[in-house]
Amino acid sequence: MITTRAAVLTKVGGPLHLTDIHVDDPEPHEVRIAVTHVGLCHSDLHYITGTVATELPVVVGHEVAGIVESVGSAVTDLRPGDHVTGALTPACGECANCNAARSTQCQRLDEIRRRPRPAYSLPDGTPVARLGDLGAFSEHMLLRANAAVKLPDGVSTRVGCLLSCCVVTGVGAVFRGARVRPGSTVAVIGCGGVGSAIIQGARLAGASAIVAIDLDEQRLRAARGYGATHTLNGATDDLAAAVVALLGDGVDYSFEAVGSARTAAAALDVVRPTGTACLVGIAAAGTELTLPASDFFFSEKRLIGSYMGSGQAREDIAQFARLYQHGRLLLDEMVTEVIDFGRINEGFEAMKSGEVTRIVVAMPIRSDNPTAEEAR
């Protein structure tokens, strides 16, 4: 067990408090990571604000990269010093969904996340929960070895952390979830971190037109750089009519990256008959959708969901890292600002403004972590 510093949420809607916690020793199939960078994700904000329920106290954060410090007795493919990013979805590799290349829907997830002792605890012994059994807003963390992905040379942890959530979620939704065909048309509703990754995925998939839709003009300008061919302000009274005015028809595929009933309905509305609307944004607990049945019966539209890229997270993250190496996937451009750990609450406040793509927290460099400097 070691003592480290973490940002702990003790009250829903309250700030994160930097405090000391204990981190347990790795179990046989775990590794301990010295965290170097963590992306601030809207999923974290959902837990902080209470739109999604969580245990308290809790360490949130999941878009993580760092350096392996120690490995459990059964770990053979990772060693201290490896630079890794962490997938939110560890998998058993044996259930029906894992065998069908859908590891993000592993049927034994709760079982493989179970451990005999709390991973985190306060100095008085109080257990501390971890978002997704990660809890990445900590200078050190535990990770299932089969959820860790080695970062290749030339992929720093500064951008490598994005691969673990917004990139695998967004690009994966294009290739694994909706399976966008070359030459097709795409609309993306919500152009934050995940939406920007969806736009890039659509570009990589060979979409002939990509319509970026958002309320923030700065995000819409940025969307052009990621591959959007058209932009629309989401305040438009009739989005479907606006899309038709741009393209002459609805789109073949739409992606919703906001997480609300209104934008989900809009995603279905802007696709043409036989088109596919893909919901990617996490909606608040209790959100229900009211949709016209005729869209499904007479127009043969499809509505699907995509969670964490709908595929094999470790394999996909490794492939996306190679796309970045070859200059085909833009990651540096997605990092709006890198901030110190002590400014994490400021970072979340900045996210609420809608003027950022991704804020990344740089964790302190410790003297017992000599390779952390090169991760910068």
CB 55 within 8 A of CB 118: no
Confidence of residue 17 (pLDDT cuts 50, 70, 90): very high
CA angle 277, 280, 281 (to 5 degrees): 120
Phi and psi of 256, rounded to 5°?
Answer: -105, 120
Q: Return d(Cα 185, Cα 40) in angstroms, integer.
A: 30
Q: Which residue has the tokens 């739409």?
A: 254
Phi and psi of 237, rounded to 5°?
Answer: -60, -40
Segments in the chain forming alpha helices (H): 42-49, 96-99, 109-113, 157-162, 168-172, 193-204, 217-226, 239-247, 261-269, 294-297, 313-325, 344-352, 372-375
| C-alpha dist (Å) from residue 327 to 227, 233, 237, 336 | 14, 29, 38, 19
Q: Return d(Cα 189, Cα 278) in angstroms, integer.
A: 10
CB 101 within 8 A of CB 311: yes
The strand pairing partners of 111, in sequence order, are none
Weakest mean pLDDT among 109-118, 157-166, 231-240, 256-265: 109-118
User: How many Cβ atoms sit within 10 Å of the Cβ of residue 183?
Assistant: 11
CB 329 within 8 A of CB 165: no
Q: What is the pLDDT of residue 42?
A: 87
> Is residue 13 helix, strand or coil?
coil
Domain with CATH 3.90.180.10 in the chain: 2-165+311-362
What the block records as the tokens of 36 is 């170097």
- pLDDT 10s digits, 322-332: 999 999 999 99
Confidence of residue 375 (pLDDT cuts 50, 70, 90): low
Position with higher pLDDT, 110 vs 96? 96
CATH 3.90.180.10 fits 2-165+311-362, yes or no: yes
* The pairing of beta strand 230-233 with beta strand 209-214: parallel
Confidence of residue 89 (pLDDT cuts 50, 70, 90): confident
What the block records as the tokens of 145 is 């070895």
Return the CATH number of 176-305, one of 3.40.50.10470, 3.40.50.720, 3.30.1490.20, 3.40.50.970.
Answer: 3.40.50.720
Confidence of residue 53 (pLDDT cuts 50, 70, 90): confident
CB 133 within 8 A of CB 142: no
DSSP, res 334 = G
Confidence of residue 367 (pLDDT cuts 50, 70, 90): very low
What the block records as the tokens of 209 is 């037109």
For 297-301, what is the mean pLDDT? 95
The strand pairing partners of 254, in sequence order, are 187, 277
CB 352 within 8 A of CB 191: no
Does 195 score more than 90 pLDDT?
A: yes
Domain with CATH 3.40.50.720 in the chain: 176-305
